[in-house]
Amino acid sequence: MGREGEVVAQLLPEFEKSHPGIRVKVQQLPWTAAHEKLLTAFAGDVTPDLCQLGNTWIPEFVALNALEPLDRYAAASPVVHAADYFAGIWDTNRVDGRLYGVPWYVDTRLVFYRRDLLQQAGFSAPPRSWAEWEQMLAAVAKRADPDRFAILLPLNEGEPLLALALQQDEPLLRANGRWGNFEQAGFRRALAFYLEMFQRGWAPSLGSAAIANVWYEFGRGRFVFYVSGPWNIGELRRRLPPEQQDRWMTAPLPGPNGPGASIAGGSSLVVFRASPHPAAAWRLIEFLSQPSVQRRFHALTGDLPPRRATWADPELAADIPARAFREQLERVKAAPKVPEWERIATEMRLVTEQAVHGQLSVDQAARELDARADRILEKRRWLLARRGAD
């Protein structure tokens, strides 16, 4: 899918050479159409043998009974060692105690910040806790000219709030994903912190489309903090002029008390149950999971590898902006693993947008979210109740 689909074609000749008898045919999909196409492929019984799958989609495809469990393969594999993968990212591939995918690359969110501007405000290190972060945001905002904001949290992205919510102890859904759990103290705390950044004028209530060129505006100093993902390391290197390169840096996401968790996003490699060649598909997963191949994959795409062994590579270890990600990856947490989660996450973003515009208070937003989640999860409750009755 997307760029990965193009790049993987460059890695495959080596696989075909070392595995005579296996021929791989790659089909590329754009990300925007991938989900729809895969569901249609499933309905039409033409699923591929092996596929890259966004790891939040795995529960959905498990509910469809479309994926082959991989526990047996992984346990016997000389290449794929569960313990070498970051625990949070490995966990996203386990549904109801079984393994359905092998992490291919990781995606998470952390803080990009302007080192020089933070220094001007009197801080030599990035924030580690929410309290420190608030202090810095306030200090930066006070010095700011009217054109500058302390932080950019694009309203069309739900991930920053989700990351803050995952830092809390309480889960976002309760009773095995039967009901929403947004009215508990943890989520309300995260939402209140998030909303505060808008209410105090630290963050502009804009979508990323309204910013147009985020990198240019970041280089110009229109905002000091920016919560975003690993792809922006490459983008900032490519798009900002050389004299601006030492002005920005990355830092792990601050948590309520000291360094906090973030999202365990990314893609996994899965084998479809309908595949006539599951063993050959597993060989390809093993090939793509070798640290040496993952290093090349990282060099080609900039995607972050999911294994500690791959990160031990000197070149990757010397990459300073990537270091914060390495640290963050030890603290990533999976979103609730129910097929309905994507939809609930969308509702979360929409309700939050209303709260940012002042149409809902924190408590009202939490109640609304629980109501919407409960409605979406109705079928799941019915299925679980029926399964329990059998």
Partner 1 sequence: MRSGAAWWFVTPALLVIAVFFFLPVLAALALSLTDFDIYALADRGNLRIVGLRNYAQLLHTPLFWQAFGNTLYFVVVGVPLSIAVSFGTALLLHSRLVKFPSVFRTALFAPVVTTLVAVAVIWRYLFHPHYGWLNYALGRLGLPAIDWLGDPRWAMPAIIVFAVWKNFGYNMIILLAGLQSIPDQLYEAARIDGASMGRQFRYVTLPLLAPIVTMVSILTIAGYFQLFAEPYVMTQGGPLQSTVSVLYFMYEEGFKWWNLGSASAVAFVLFLFIFGVTALQLWLARWQSAA
Residues at the interface with partner 1 (CB under 8 A) = 35-36, 39, 42-43, 60, 63-66, 155-156, 206-207, 209-210, 212, 339, 343, 350, 353-354, 357, 379, 382-383
Name the residue nearer to partner 1 (CB basis): 288 or 344: 344
Min CB(36)–partner 1 separation in Å: 6
Min CB(345)–partner 1 separation in Å: 12
Q: Are 67 and 271 in contact (CB under 8 A)?
A: yes
Name the residue nearer to partner 1 (CB basis): 333 or 372: 372
Nearest to 89 by CA among 74, 73, 108: 108
Name the residue nearer to partner 1 (CB basis): 83 or 209: 209
Min CB(159)–partner 1 separation in Å: 16
Min CB(191)–partner 1 separation in Å: 17
Name the residue nearer to partner 1 (CB basis): 258 or 358: 358
CA 154 to CA 175: how far, in whole Å? Answer: 32
Name the residue nearer to partner 1 (CB basis): 155 or 195: 155
Q: Are 229 and 108 in contact (CB under 8 A)?
A: yes
Min CB(211)–partner 1 separation in Å: 9
Min CB(311)–partner 1 separation in Å: 35
Min CB(337)–partner 1 separation in Å: 15
Min CB(43)–partner 1 separation in Å: 6
Alpha-carbon torsion (192, 334, 130, 184), positive or negative = positive
Question: For the chain, how big is the Rg over CA atoms in Å?
Answer: 22
Q: How many CA atoms lie within 13 A of 143 on its CB side?
A: 16
Name the residue nearer to partner 1 (CB basis): 343 or 367: 343
Alpha-carbon torsion (247, 253, 259, 263), positive or negative = negative
Name the residue nearer to partner 1 (CB basis): 313 or 353: 353
Name the residue nearer to partner 1 (CB basis): 174 or 349: 349
For 71, residues 6+ apart whose C-beta sits below 8 A from its C-beta are: 98, 99
Residue that is written with structure tokens 């240019």 in the block: 216
Nearest to 264 by CA among 171, 215, 334: 334
Distance of CA 227 to the CA centre of its chain: 12
